[in-house]
Amino acid sequence: MEQVIESMPIEVVPTDAQAEQHAAQLCADHDGLQMSSAVVIATAEAMGAEVLLTTHPEWPGGEELGIAAEVRVV
């Protein structure tokens, strides 16, 4: 699994309490957004990500989420 992750154009980073609080607010603001997805979004925002890749076509776009990153469905 480690080789698969290393071969992808992604960065795996830890989360923190501030990102998790932001995630909780995202869930409150966006019906149907799961906490696990919100943690990914909030952490990407905290890290200053320019692009956020997801396999979830139901995610709102970056502008709707209030984040700077472009949300791309792959």
How many folded domains does the chain comprise?
1
Structure-block tokens of residue 34: 């799961």
Domain enclosing residue 8, as ranges: 2-73
6-48 pLDDT per residue, tens: 787 777 788 899 999 999 999 999 999 999 999 999 999 999 9
pTM: 0.81
